[in-house]
C-alpha cells in the first residue's frame, strides 16, 4: 500500500502471455474432460500411466508420465512462481509491512474459511480430511484471465491486489505442501540436499549473475528433495529465492530466468498438467455424487469460502491495521474479486493429487468434480459481478 492507498504491481516480463495461455489451459482442461468421458477414456488413462525414465549413469528416476509432470515439470512452474514471489517481496506489493497488510489479511481469510468449510463437510471421514487444503488455493493464471476478459477497464490497482492476494496464497500453499503433504522422510537425502542448498546460498552471496550455475544446483536439489519424501516442487521455490533480482528489472538472473521460462511454462507445462490431471469421469453422474461431502466441501469452499474469507479478511485489514482499499477500487469490486479468486483449478488439482491420488481414488475424482464445478461457478459469478461493477472510483 502506498500512502495514497494504491497497491502497485511489478508485473513480470511474461505477463503478456497470461491471457492466451489461460485460454489454452482452459481448452486443454475441456479436452481432458471430454476425453475422460469418451469411448477413448482408456487411452487417456494409458497416457497418464505411460512409463517415463530419466537416467544419468547409475542415477535415474522412473515414473509414469502424470507423476513426472506433477513432480518434475511442475517444479519449473514453482520456480517461476518463486521468482514472482521474490520480486514482490523484494521490490513489489509485498516489499513492506504497510504494502502487504491488506492483501495478506485478504489471503489469510481466503485460505482459512475454505479450509474450515471443507473440514465441516468432511469431519466424519479421516481420509477425506486429507483434502482440507484443496479449496484454499487460487489459480492466478485463470483468475487474472477472467478479470481481464470481464473487466478490461477495471482500475489497475484491482489487478495488482488480486495478484498480491494470489502471491500470498501461493506462499501459503507452498508452506502447506511442505508441512502436510510429504511422504515418509529420508534423513539421508535431506542431509544430501544441504549440499546444493549451500551452493545456491554461496552463488547468491557472491553475486553470481550467470543463470546456469543456479539451475545446475537447483536440479541436484530437486533430485535430493524428490528422493527425500518432501514434495520436489519445493526445490523450484528454493532455487528461485536464491536468484538475485534487481529493482530496475533489467538483466538480473531472476529476470532472465523468468523471461526464458514463462512461455514454456504457460504454453507447455500448465496445459500438459491440465490435459493429464483435469479429466473427470462424469458418466453416470447423479445428484448424490455432486452433493457428496468431498465435492461439496471443495465447491462450497472455493465459492462461498473464498468470497467470505477475502471480504472479511479485507475488512479486518482495514479495521485492525488501518489499511485502505487499493486506489480507485470499491467494495463491490472487492466482492467480485473475491468471487474470481474462487477459481482454484491448477493449484487445487495439484493439492488434490497429493492428498488423494493413489490413496483414495474415489475422493480424488470427487475433489476434481468439486474443483471443476466450484471454479466454473466462481468464474461465472465473478465475471457477471465484474461486468456490473468494473468502473469504480477512488475509495474515500
Convert the pLDDT of each residue in 97-139 to its tens digit. Answer: 777 789 999 999 999 999 999 999 999 899 999 999 999 988 8
Query: 374 with 303: CB under 8 angstroms?
Result: yes
Tens of pLDDT along 298-312?
999 999 999 999 999
So what's the pLDDT on residue 172? 85
Give pLDDT, residue 116. 97
**How many other C-beta atoms can be found within 10 angstroms of the C-beta atom of residue 37?**
16
CATH of the domain at 132: 1.20.1530.10
Q: Rounded to whole angstroms, how far apart are CA atoms 198 and 206?
A: 12
Yes or no: say if 125 and 367 are a contact pair by the CB < 8 Å rule. no
Give a yes or no: residue 114 inside a domain: yes
Most confident range (mean pLDDT) of 18-32, 228-242, 308-322 is 308-322
Query: What mean pLDDT value characterizes the chain?
Result: 83
Whole-structure pTM value: 0.76
pLDDT of residue 324: 81
Cβ(118)–Cβ(134) below 8 Å: yes
C-alpha span between 204 and 248 (Å, rounded) = 18
The residue ranges of DSSP E strands in the chain, in sequence order, are 51-56, 59-64
Which contiguous run of DSSP H or E holds residue 148?
Answer: helix 140-150
Q: 69 lies in which domain range? A: 62-181+231-278+286-389
Residue 295 lies in a domain: yes
What mean pLDDT comes out for the span 370-380? 93
pLDDT at 2: 32
Residue 53 has pLDDT above 50, yes or no: yes
Q: Is residue 146 part of a domain?
A: yes
pLDDT in tens, 226-235: 888 777 778 8
pLDDT at 5: 37
Q: What is the pLDDT of residue 15?
A: 55
CB 291 within 8 A of CB 360: no
Rounded to 10°, the helix 361-389/140-150 angle is: 30
- Within a domain: 44: no
- Per-residue buried b or exposed e for 192-231, using 16+ beta carbons within 10 Å of the residue's own CB: bbeebbebbeebeeeebeebebbbebbebbbbbbbbbebb
* Rounded Cα gap, residues 190 and 261, in angstroms: 27
With respect to residue 100, please indicate whether it lies within any of the assigned structural domains: yes
- Model pLDDT for residues 149-200, shown as the tens digit of each residue: 788 777 777 877 887 888 788 778 878 887 788 766 788 888 999 999 999 9
CB within 8 A of 181, min separation 6: which ones?
133, 231, 351, 354, 355
Q: Which residue reads 517461476 in cell numbers?
A: 80
Count: domains in the chain:
1
pLDDT at 390: 62
What is the reported pLDDT for 281?
Answer: 78
64 phi and psi, to 5 degrees?
A: -65, 160
In a domain, 212, yes or no: no
Which ranges of 206-305 does DSSP label H, i.e. alpha helix? Answer: 211-228, 233-242, 253-264, 270-277, 287-290, 293-300
Q: Provide the pLDDT confidence category of residue 393 given band limits of 50, 70 and 90.
A: very low
pLDDT of 8 higher than 50: no
Q: Is the pLDDT of residue 144 over 90?
A: no
What is the chain's length?
396
Q: Which three cell numbers stand for residue 160?
A: 495488482
Residue 22 lies in a domain: no
What is the per-residue DSSP string for 351-375? HHHHHHTTT-HHHHHHHHHHHHHHH
10, part of any domain: no
Give percent of the chain with pLDDT exceeding 70: 89
Q: How far apart are CA 125 and CA 132, in angstroms?
A: 11
- For residue 291, is pLDDT > 80? yes
Amino acid at each position: 500500500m502506498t500512502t495514497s492507498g494504491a497497491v502497485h504491481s511489478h508485473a513480470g516480463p511474461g505477463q503478456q502471455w497470461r491471457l492466451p495461455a489461460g485460454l489454452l489451459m482452459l481448452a486443454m482442461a475441456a479436452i481432458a474432460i471430454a476425453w475422460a468421458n469418451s469411448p477413448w477414456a482408456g487411452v487417456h488413462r494409458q497416457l497418464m500411466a505411460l512409463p517415463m525414465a530419466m537416467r544419468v549413469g547409475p542415477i535415474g528416476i522412473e515414473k509414469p508420465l502424470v507423476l513426472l509432470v506433477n513432480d518434475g515439470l511442475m517444479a519449473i512452474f514453482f520456480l517461476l512462481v518463486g521468482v514472482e514471489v521474490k520480486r514482490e517481496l523484494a521490490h513489489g506489493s509485498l516489499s513492506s509491512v504497510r504494502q502487504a497488510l491488506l492483501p495478506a489479511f485478504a489471503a489469510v481469510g481466503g485460505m482459512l474459511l475454505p479450509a474450515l468449510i471443507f473440514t465441516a463437510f468432511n469431519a466424519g471421514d479421516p481420509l477425506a480430511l486429507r483434502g482440507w487444503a484443496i479449496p484454499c488455493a487460487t489459480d492466478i493464471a485463470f483468475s487474472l484471465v477472467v478479470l481481464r476478459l470481464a473487466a478490461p477497464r477495471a482500475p489497475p490497482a484491482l489487478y495488482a491486489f488480486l495478484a498480491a492476494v494470489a502471491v500470498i496464497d501461493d506462499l501459503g500453499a507452498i508452506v502447506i505442501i511442505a508441512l502436510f503433504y510429504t511422504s515418509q522422510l529420508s534423513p539421508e537425502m535431506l542431509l544430501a540436499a544441504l549440499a546444493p542448498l549451500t551452493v545456491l546460498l554461496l552463488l547468491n552471496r557472491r553475486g553470481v549473475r550467470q543463470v546456469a550455475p543456479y539451475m545446475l544446483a537447483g536440479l541436484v536439489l530437486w533430485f535430493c528433495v524428490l528422493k527425500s519424501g518432501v514434495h520436489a516442487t519445493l526445490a523450484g521455490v528454493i532455487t528461485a529465492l536464491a536468484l538475485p533480482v534487481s529493482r530496475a528489472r533489467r538483466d538480473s538472473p531472476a529476470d532472465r530466468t523468468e523471461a526464458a521460462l514463462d512461455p514454456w511454462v504457460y504454453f507447455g507445462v500448465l496445459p500438459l498438467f491440465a490435459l493429464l490431471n483435469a479429466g473427470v469421469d462424469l458418466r453416470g453422474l447423479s445428484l448424490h455424487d455432486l452433493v457428496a461431502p468431498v465435492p461439496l466441501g471443495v465447491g462450497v469452499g472455493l465459492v462461498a469460502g473464498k468470497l467470505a474469507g477475502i471480504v472479511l479478511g479485507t475488512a479486518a485489514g482495514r479495521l485492525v491495521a488501518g489499511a485502505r482499499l487499493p486506489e480507485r477500487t470499491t467494495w463491490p469490486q472487492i466482492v467480485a474479486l473475491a468471487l474470481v479468486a474462487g477459481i482454484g483449478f491448477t493449484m487445487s488439482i495439484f493439492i488434490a493429487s497429493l492428498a488423494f491420488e493413489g490413496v483414495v481414488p474415489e475422493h480424488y475424482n470427487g475433489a476434481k468434480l468439486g474443483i471443476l464445478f466450484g471454479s466454473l461457478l466462481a468464474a461465472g459469478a465473478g465475471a457477471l459481478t465484474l461486468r456490473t461493477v468494473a468502473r469504480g472510483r477512488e475509495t474515500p
